[in-house]
Structure 1
Amino acid sequence: MHAAIELPSLRRQKILLILERDGKVMASELSQHFAVSEDTIRRDLAELDSAGLVQRVHGGALPRPKDTGKDFFTRVSETDEVKTRLAQLAAGYVKNGQIVMFDSGSTTLQIARSLPSDIAITAVTASPMIAITLAEYPGIKVILAGGQINPSTLAVSGHETLRLLQGIKADLLFTGVCAIHPEVGISSLHFDEVPVKLAMLDSAAHVVAVTTADKLGAVEPFVVAPCARIHTLITERTVASGNIEDYRELGIEVVQMTAVD
């Protein structure tokens, strides 16, 4: 009797190990693996989801992204060598004369800081902090979208924001990434970010996503768009969850940072 009581908790621990290894779990496969019914597995996944350990999706579960609990000012003020090097790689995609959109986020802010000092572009953003950073470049013309500021992201949203973004055809977009999964797509923690991100995606000829490895294979509550909307993905050499080839199979150019970049 004692072993039977312990079995569900042991099975759930093993499910978490499989999830960490594979980047996703499917109820049907777990049912066969543990020789229990799919209803039993669904109850396991529901318990793990309630505990904040997984993100349930149709047919299974995905990793839940780690939340550092840090506000935006804290994140952007910290020195992050990985983000700095990723941003430097991304900055190489910017060419003189382009119209470039900058989505909100600490990584896109770092890209703005990494541009060559003599670059001459028109920059469009919904982030006041990124706009201020770009305004320091003598050769950059900055267009800042108006709207209501979200205190969590320090970016604007609303009808005025969308109207401006929809009226611009950009050469390049650096899209912010809360989470990205090859099957689920790009997703966000903030509902009001979704239409803004979609408007930027629709307005750009080439979309570059720059992200640390911990956001790959992760899922947030609000889905923005399929991964196929991204043309170039810049990330770390080591992927925390899943297989980087899954993104290449979607037709995405994947650029991984190396030790000498």
Structure 2
Amino acid sequence: MSQTFRHPEILEIARTEGKVTVEDLACRFGVTVQTIRRDLTDLAEAGRLERVHGGAVMPSGVSNIGYEERRGLNEAAKQAMAQVCAQHIPDGASVFLNIGTSTEAVARALLAHRDLMVITNNMNVANILVANAECEIVVAGGVLRRSDGGLIGNLTTRVIEQFKFDYAVIGCSALDDEGDLLDFDVEEVHVSQSIIARARRTYLVADHSKFHRMAPARIASLGEVDMFFTDRPVPAPVAERLKEWDTVCRVCR
């Protein structure tokens, strides 16, 4: 396979997995590690990837990838995480689900729950849960972000401040080695911080692709989260920090 055909496939793997390694790509494509190193160098020089030790990651940026693309990434992993997360939410609870495709997966996993009150700033979550007649839905109104159905801004924050819910289920765009949850939209970050402040317990749902991404705005620390649902073991620096906190990490497959 020529590099013309390898490059798009390498980029797709990087988008899906969050990171690519030289050894894995050489095995996948049946070429030498030297060939893959040249491919990664070419893609890095073109600004498509960022080289790291042993491979490459998607470049740091200040804008998220599109909603439709995010929705299709790691679908099976999101479903597995959502099912386990939902098992830790009892019937009769009040729950906040924020913006994100992972929290939308949790909404689907809650369709069989009874006597829930779900507060959300995600129009997609509200539409999913309409199918659950046992669920009261409260939409935290605000400015509609048409790209993904999210509601953000001061009005959203003011609605959230009227509640104190049993559980908050949140997502993030990135998780760095210091254990910080990161996002791209500052207004969404302010809303997420309000959600955490009003929750008795906070659950983070984030797949492994978030381990190798960067975003400019900080939401919170993993130390402020009670349970973290993911699909692969966390990087070593994050694992070390988890030992210092009370955060429980569940690897769901």
Percent same amino acid at aligned positions? 19
Q: Quick check: 1:107 aligned with 2:73?
A: no
State the Cα distance separating 1:177 from its structure 2 match: 1.4
Change (3 A) 1:54 1:169: farther
Change (3 A) 1:184 1:256: closer
Tell me which residue corresponds to 1:4. none
State the Cα distance separating 1:136 from its structure 2 match: 1.3
State the Cα distance separating 1:185 from its structure 2 match: 1.1
Tell me which residue corresponds to 1:203. 198
Map 1:16-95 onto structure 2 (within 5 A): 53=50, 71-76=66-71, 80-95=75-90
State the distance in 2 between where 1:231 and 1:111 align. Answer: 17
3-state SS of paired residue (2:127): helix
3-state SS of paired residue (1:187): strand
State the Cα distance separating 1:75 from its structure 2 match: 3.6
Tell me which residue corresponds to 1:42. none
Tell me which residue corresponds to 2:34. none
3-state SS of paired residue (2:186): coil
State the distance in 2 between where 1:63 and 1:74 align. Answer: 14
State the Cα distance separating 1:166 from its structure 2 match: 0.9
The answer to which of 182-191 and 242-251 deviates more is 242-251
State the distance in 2 between where 1:108 and 1:227 align. Answer: 17
State the distance in 1 between where 2:155 and 2:63 align. Answer: 31
State the Cα distance separating 1:67 from its structure 2 match: 10
Aligned residues: 208
Tell me which residue corresponds to 1:7. none
Tell me which residue corresponds to 1:233. 228
Which structure 2 segments of 5+ residues have no match? 1-18, 22-43
Q: Quick check: 1:143 aligned with 2:143?
A: no
User: Which amino acid is 1:209 matched to?
Assistant: L
The answer on whether the counterparts of 1:65 and 1:179 sit within 8 Å (CA) in structure 2 is: no
Compare CA radii of gyration and give the structure with the larger one. Answer: 1
Tell me which residue corresponds to 2:247. 252
State the Cα distance separating 1:151 from its structure 2 match: 2.8
The answer on whether the counterparts of 2:177 and 2:235 sit within 8 Å (CA) in structure 1 is: no
3-state SS of paired residue (1:136): coil
The answer on whether the counterparts of 2:122 and 2:149 sit within 8 Å (CA) in structure 1 is: yes
State the distance in 2 between where 1:136 and 1:67 align. Answer: 36
User: Which amino acid is 1:92 matched to?
Assistant: Q
State the Cα distance separating 1:68 from its structure 2 match: 11
State the Cα distance separating 1:52 from its structure 2 match: 6.5
Describe the superposition over 1:86-128 as per-residue Cα deviations: whole angstroms up to 9, x where unpaired: 1111111111111100011001001100125242210000011
The answer on whether the counterparts of 1:208 and 1:234 sit within 8 Å (CA) in structure 2 is: yes
State the Cα distance separating 1:191 from its structure 2 match: 1.6
State the distance in 1 between where 2:105 and 2:62 align. Answer: 20
Which structure 1 segments of 5+ residues have no match? 1-18, 22-46, 56-61
Map 1:129-168 onto structure 2 (within 5 A): 129-168=124-163
